[in-house]
Structure 1
Amino acid sequence: MQNHTLKNQSAPPEAEMPEPKKLILQISKVQIPMRIDRYLTQQVENATRNKVQEAVEDGRVLVNGKPVKSNYRIKSCDSIQITFLRPPAPELAPEDIAINIVYEDDDLMVINKAPGMVVHPAFGNWTGTLANAILHHIGKEAGALDPSELRPGIVHRLDKDTSGLIIVAKNPTALHRLARQFAQRQVEKIYKAIAWGVPDPGTGTIRTNIGRSKKNRKVMANFPFEGAEGKHAVTDYAVEENLHWFSVVSLTLHTGRTHQIRAHMQYIGNPILGDETYGGAMPRTLSFSKSEQFVKNLLDMMPRQALHAETLSFHQPSTREKLTFTAPLPDDMQQALDKIRQQLKASQT
């Protein structure tokens, strides 16, 4: 087993601004204390930490009618008013969208999210999200969740094109207790990926800091571990199947940074198959005839990152019973693996 640790090493005319809009957020009675800039970044769609901090500095964020600083820690029953320079997102509405519910009780649901489904409304995806489907499924109980938060009951998230298991709380108390488990790293999350190449050694731990790329804010970059830039990120990996040109890799998260697995796999030189953002969708020539066409067909078959949230283990928020769930690989990943295995077998004969 080996550690992979990254160590230290004239403006255009302004368009006409839309009329400012105000949004009021009422904090629940069981809200975990956190910095207001972090909370608003999580709750206000299309907001970045910098934009929220600018709003605070401009006096456009009020708590209980008074301006605050970015390091103010929100408390239960606080009323937050934020003034947007752009119109806020449309109000979240229930939608009759099919979802695969693996488990459900009075406190929570565990859902096997299909690839391509957006978890919560965002710019360009205001409808058709898992959040819309959750409100519809809960129905009359939806009053326990707050649609104004845009992420009702959603404790953690998966990227649009990542499939697999996600936990959804059905009431504020469950949300609070599950969020605390995530914050204290008591939730085990294991992912399965199809990677380019075979990581060497076959097991290891990847440690870097992860933060926004200086070149493209939509992309995450690796920085020296525990350095000044980014936040520390730790991922364990283990090769489960050596497929010569590819591998099936199991990945366990110890932190939950945006795009953590995708950025870490790129960092060790084994990007995830189909991951256009992190180098996994580049045409390649392999060590057999007509490999270019094989790779093209494979990328057509797998037009997303081949990453699946396979296993979740946590404690039921009311009973404290340990619950563990596993979701099989989705069809597209399984079909891609079958094609790779067939090609490997043919090349060895």
Structure 2
Amino acid sequence: MKMVIVDKANEGKKLFRYIRTLAPSMKNGEIFMSIRKGKIKINNRIEDQGYILKNGDVVKIFFPDEIIKKYTDNDRNKYRSIDSNIDVIFEDKDIIVVNKPAGILVHPDRREFKKNLVESVKAYLYKKNEFKPGDYFTPSPCHRLDTNTSGLIIFAKTHFALQKISTLFRERNGDKLYLALVFGKISSSILISSSIDASENKENKVAVKEAHIHNFIPEKSKFIEENPTLSATYVRPLKYDSRLSLVEINLWTGKKHQIRASLAAALHPLIGERKYYTSQSLSLSQMLNVSNYYLHCYKLKINGYEEFKAPIPKKFSQILSEMFKIDAAKL
């Protein structure tokens, strides 16, 4: 039998998710069945899998010791072998800021085994003795980056840090700044606002409705307050010619595929984009032999921390040098 007392860091978690952190190799069905049959109890009572944990709750897992050891040993062996080579930009006792390469998943893909950042961060912290399977909290990302988007992503080491950082972004007390190479000439700053429908379809695309381009930039907090359901993407040109532009993008809101879909709706798709594009942008991408889009989260600003900055990826730097004679290190 294993007994743990819920601490402040895990208050507010659902019971099922908490058990997943205690025994990550347990299958979902095993957890559901164990909760339902009373092999997992809270304060000596059988609770629903969606029970919200409170500070001081006593969780008892009525498994034989050898079964508990099997689950935790399996995961320890796994993290010894996982690639933990990550580009750490900043780290303290609460968070770790990582520079994600393009092409790497953030979360594990259940359909097929691929390298992903979540498991690499866990392995990195495991080898530093800062995480082990069965811990009360599993290191978790505080925000999203698409697979082919590179750049900064914050991981929380504690449940408290996860709630704090996630709340800062949700309440717009943080800025994510991206560099992007886009189709067409953008010679002055614009704000793209729209309604984004994130309903899933076979192509995993979002639908952009009623996109508007604002040439006069409104005050950020006022615009968001007056338009709470709209996405808002601020685009500032850094360099441009008649065919394409290097822009800095500030996400005023955070919707799925917001940058990629909004730029395409404004007729300025990312160069190399194969999901949200126009016939002209696709033709230029093919002519330039660019097969993947260039979108890099290069700056993060959140209250309580100094600004984080990630270097521009090598391929992105090369294309900026070729197209615009820009030294990416000076951006």
What's the TM-score once normalised by structure 2's chain length?
A: 0.66
Secondary structure at the counterpart of residue 181 of structure 1: helix
Deviations 1:88-139 (A, max 9, x none): xx97943123211111111111111111111110244544111111111111
1:242 equivalent in alignment to 2:240: yes
Secondary structure at the counterpart of residue 131 of structure 2: helix
Higher helix content, 1 or 2 = 2
2:271 matched residue in structure 1: 273
Q: How many residues align?
A: 262
Query: Paired residue for 1:176, among 163, 186, 198?
Result: 163
1:326 matched residue in structure 2: 309
* Structure 1 residue 148 displacement after superposition: 9.0
1:211 matched residue in structure 2: 197
1:284 matched residue in structure 2: 283
2:291 matched residue in structure 1: 303
Q: Which runs of 4+ in 1 moved over 3 A?
A: 26-34, 63-68, 72-79, 90-93, 123-127, 143-149, 213-217, 280-283
**Matches of 2:134 and 2:89, distance apart in 1:** 20
1:101 equivalent in alignment to 2:88: yes
Describe the shift of the 1:304–1:97 C-alpha distance in structure 2 as closer, same or farther (beyond 3 A).
farther
Given that 2:149 and 2:294 are in contact with CA atoms closer than 8 Å, whether structure 1 keeps it comes out as: yes
Secondary structure at the counterpart of residue 312 of structure 2: coil
* Structure 1 residue 275 displacement after superposition: 1.2
* Structure 1 residue 146 displacement after superposition: 5.9
1:336 matched residue in structure 2: 319
**Matches of 1:276 and 1:134, distance apart in 2:** 29
1:154-193 matches, within 5 Å, as 154-193=141-180
1:262 matched residue in structure 2: 260
Describe the shift of the 1:27–1:208 C-alpha distance in structure 2 as closer, same or farther (beyond 3 A).
farther
* Structure 1 residue 243 displacement after superposition: 2.3
1:31-70 matches, within 5 Å, as none
Give the residue type in structure 2 aligned to 1:142: F
2:67 matched residue in structure 1: none
2:140 matched residue in structure 1: 153
CA-based RMSD: 3.8
**Matches of 2:240 and 2:119, distance apart in 1:** 40
Given that 2:182 and 2:270 are in contact with CA atoms closer than 8 Å, whether structure 1 keeps it comes out as: yes
**Matches of 1:170 and 1:122, distance apart in 2:** 22
Deviations 1:299-327 (A, max 9, x none): 3xx43221000100113xxxx3x320112
**Matches of 1:236 and 1:33, distance apart in 2:** 34
**Matches of 2:184 and 2:254, distance apart in 1:** 25
Given that 1:30 and 1:76 are in contact with CA atoms closer than 8 Å, whether structure 2 keeps it comes out as: no
Deviations 1:32-74 (A, max 9, x none): 869x8xx98xx9xxxxxxxxxxxxxxx9xxx975669xxx995
Given that 1:241 and 1:247 are in contact with CA atoms closer than 8 Å, whether structure 2 keeps it comes out as: yes
Q: Which runs of 5+ in 1 are unaligned?
A: 1-25, 44-58, 80-89, 286-294, 343-349
